[in-house]
Amino acid sequence: MSPSASWPGQIGRDVRRVHDDVVVLTELGLIERTASGGVLCPFVDIHVDLHFRKAG
């Protein structure tokens, strides 16, 4: 098994959920797929602002 295929299980992640996350992040343009099937982040850093407000 390649290291990229084994790491999600090593940190308690379901491989299918990791794949789903990669698909979404790729669609958002936050990561890119490589020619060999890997993933990379083309940014040095990413800044995200989140605002939470209680409902009701």
Q: Where are the beta strands (DSSP E) in the chain?
A: 32-33, 39-40
Query: What local confidence, expressed as pLDDT, does residue 16 receive?
Result: 86
Instruction: Return all residues near 39 (Cβ < 8 A) that are at least 6 apart.
Output: 22, 25, 26, 31, 32, 33
Query: What local confidence, expressed as pLDDT, does residue 8 receive?
Result: 59
Measured CA angle at 26 (ends 24, 20), to 5 deg: 35
| Residue 52 φ/ψ, nearest 5 degrees | -110, 135
Quick: pLDDT tens for 2-40. Answer: 445 555 556 677 888 888 999 999 999 999 999 998 999
Q: Which residue has the tokens 């992040």?
A: 25
The structure's pTM equals 0.61
